Structure 1
């Protein structure tokens, strides 16, 4: 009996192990070979498998080829056919740092010096700790703010807000979806978040490249270039590799594959995107855009903030130092690609300051092709958007309509719902007292809205005005 019992126990243990193997086989079968390779690469980076550099090269994908076949996935709605939190095998993100031998090219020391001078008018790296920590981080999926990036604090907020505006244009108007209303944005899952971010980044880089190129910057594990003696190394720029694409679909697919390099904690994602933006435009053209004006970033009391030229590059593809001005280029001036500030782009721009400003935002930026606006209100950046594209193309839709407002501030837990009435003339009452006078001061956001719809009244629908 003892021998039979021991034999029975041994058979049960063998059967249990076979069952475990079957479960793992099903997992690998579901995730696909891409997931399997990703696990192998992750183990190799930890030294578990002891893979050589040649093995890495044999596994490295080719990034310069066409990705037209994959790009169609970005316009679908996978949430309808997958459980929350799941990912298609083709979207498995790679680690933050690239292994050796994956292609691309390093930034030459001379180019690194030009980059720093363009940013700071100095060859010394001057990014603050807030910039180093900034990355593209979404709110939890399937939540009230599932579509939204967490902007945090500091000088990176204009970049995050501009990318947020492009994310909204994709989620509401670009992808194929059954509806375009706010509830749909709240149902965005983790996979869709990554696709929306990849699309927004690729669209912005492609516009900066004049519609013919995009350059993506990613970080490698080892330092790839040796700086000159006159250049102060920052152990970050020297680790960057540049990947150039002549097809937007290929650039978007590459960013999607490496989305963790922009949205992962510790990725320096915002700085990498800013570098990608400048190299897509080319440093020479950015310098031509700026002329003899101040650098792209301002430094004051240790704080690093974006100039209007950075906003212009994000919205129009040009680093114009006078975003919103109506000045047009002189006849015969070099174009260099990118949309002019007076032309209509997918995302608009509204600005209002308590102190009078010399330049008004051009009509082309106030009236974009889609009802999404980056707002600069008293120096704070946010996003205002509508869900009905007729608001831009049909004047009858502008009588009474709805807009939604997101600041990116940590305190905001739901999207603000505003109702705009352009035919109610309550604003004409008490003409003797201006809207900014003591006791009659309007919320700054309402004043920004009135730069587009003069005299409009704004209802916050029960929410206390907070911006």
Structure 2
């Protein structure tokens, strides 16, 4: 998982997380913070990784040292290439990593923050003034930083049940040393927690220390993730989860990605593992199990679409709580990647007449998207169904996934790309 700073440009600047880090030292720090099984929530406390096996690690270190000396590389060096003996043939039948996998861990967190930045700039910064989409690209650096601080404060304050929040920052001092249960990583042992019981003071503190989250080398995403967990508290997160989820991160193909519980924590303030409404009790082999969903409407919503899951009939049923947020902004999970869909009309979710025809804007944070796409959604004209009623399933395969995710909220809607070639 990437550890570079949080992006601050809300719309047009693609996030600076597309390059894959090659420094092994960065990967070592990440492994030291989260176990290879993915941030397991077991016992309350400030140590997030107690799953190290010291004897095995010492054996690995000895082997690594021997291998390093063989190649003329000594402990403490930074690797910029992989020794030839570690490279395998490309035709062994493995699954190549995609750019989405390589950046997926941070992209989800980044896009939720971006969605809250859009909310702040369009709807809460100047409640009595209309803010256009174009104006979002004309913000000064200072305005971007304030928007980032305000958005982070919103997320952390909600996670703390509107009563408290924690901010985690790295210092120059270490506060504990290595032990049989913990291997130092030069990061975790240098952290300090700052507690707040007033949202205004929280936002001011974040604004004053925003460089700790956005500057190069600041480890902004990890600091924010720590702040999020400690704002919610480990004890509450344990209560939020159910028997289906014990880890907040998923490790696969050498990369960490966040589970739905983390996204729901950022969106709703509760680390529920599922996207349906409320909690559900299900009998599993004569044992009643409770599944935790979303309990209330959040400021930013969530939509999900996957062509593969659709074909396998495994598409998760997102409940109305997430489909109908308080603001017309949605985090979109489309075919394994994350993006943001939003409107500028606050009445869209409160006045049914506004849903006849309206504009939505789409932003995926990728370099390939040069400008925010505008789509007009028409919920009354179903001409898109006309010549495809007989072969409806084939028609769905031909439609852009972005259109299909919009139709999970507005079924049967016609969508006009205004000349833009559908790209998602």
**TM-score, length-scaled by structure 1:** 0.65
Confirm or deny that 1:201 pairs with 2:152. yes
Are 1:312 and 2:264 matched, yes or no?
A: yes
Which whole-Å CA distance do the structure 1 matches of 2:102 and 2:342 have between them?
20
Q: Does 1:431 align with 2:389?
A: yes
Name which of 430, 446, 457 aligns with 2:403: 446
Name the SS for the 2:216 alignment partner. coil
SS at match of 2:333: strand
Q: Which residue of 2 aligns with 1:116?
A: 49
1:379-412: CA deviations, max 9, x gaps?
1100000011111111111111101000011111
Structure 2: segments with no counterpart, 5+ residues:
1-42, 54-100, 282-291
Unpaired stretches in structure 1, ≥5 consecutive residues:
1-108, 125-150, 331-338
Give runs of aligned pairs for residues 22-421 of structure 1, distance below 5 A: 111-113=45-47, 115-116=48-49, 122-123=51-52, 153-176=103-126, 178-292=129-243, 293-322=245-274, 324-328=275-279, 341-354=294-307, 355-356=309-310, 357=314, 359-421=316-378
Mapped to 2, the partners of 1:340 and 1:256 lie a distance apart of 33
With over 3 angstroms needed to count, the CA separation of the structure-2 counterparts of 1:110 and 1:307, relative to structure 1, is closer
Q: CA deviation at 1:153?
A: 2.6
Deviation of 1:443 (Å): 0.6
Aligned-residue offset at 1:261: 0.4
Moved more, 166-175 or 392-401: 392-401
Structure 1: distance between partners of 2:49 and 2:137: 40
Q: Please say if residues 312 and 321 of structure 1, whose CA atoms lie closer than 8 Å, have aligned partners that are also in contact.
A: yes
Q: TM-score, normalised by structure 2?
A: 0.71
Distance in 2 (alpha carbons) for counterparts of 1:155 and 1:186: 26
CA–CA separation in structure 2 for the residues paired with 1:291 and 1:152: 28
CA RMSD, aligned part only? 2.3
- Deviation string, structure 1 residues 279-330 (Cα, Å, up to 9, x no partner): 00001111222234241001112111111111111101111111x1134278
Q: How far off is 1:188 after superposition?
A: 1.2
Partner secondary structure for residue 105 of structure 2: coil
Indicate if the aligned counterparts of 1:180 and 1:388 stay in contact, CA closer than 8 A: no
Contact 1:344–1:369 (8 Å) recurs in 2: yes
State the alpha-carbon separation in 2 of the partners of residues 358 and 378 from structure 1. Answer: 11
Deviation per residue, 1:117-162 (Å, 9 max, x gap): 6xxxx458xxxxxxxxxxxxxxxxxxxxxxxxxx993411000000
Task: Report which structure shows greater RCO (CA 8 Å, sep ≥6).
Answer: 2
Select between 349-358 and 234-243 the one with higher mean Cα deviation.
349-358
Distance in 2 (CA, whole Å) between partners of 1:154 and 1:404 is 22
Shift of residue 341, structure 1, vs aligned partner: 1.6
Q: Would you say the 8 A contact 1:318–1:340 is kept in 2?
A: no
> Is the partner of 2:297 in helix, strand or coil?
coil
CA–CA distance in structure 2, aligned partners of residues 438 and 389 of structure 1? 32
Q: Which whole-Å CA distance do the structure 1 matches of 2:361 and 2:278 have between them?
A: 31
Change over 3 Å in CA distance of 1:301–1:439 after alignment to 2: closer
Q: Work out the number of aligned pairs and report it.
A: 319
Q: Determine the structure 2 residue equivalent to 1:89.
A: none
Residue 252 of structure 1: CA displacement? Answer: 0.6
More displaced stretch, 170-179 vs 263-272:
170-179
Distance 1:439 1:375 in 2: 18
Q: Determine if contact 2:304/2:316 at 8 Å carries over to the other structure.
A: no
> How far apart, CA to CA, are the structure 2 residues paired with 1:425 and 1:195?
43
User: SS in structure 2 opposite 1:461?
Assistant: coil
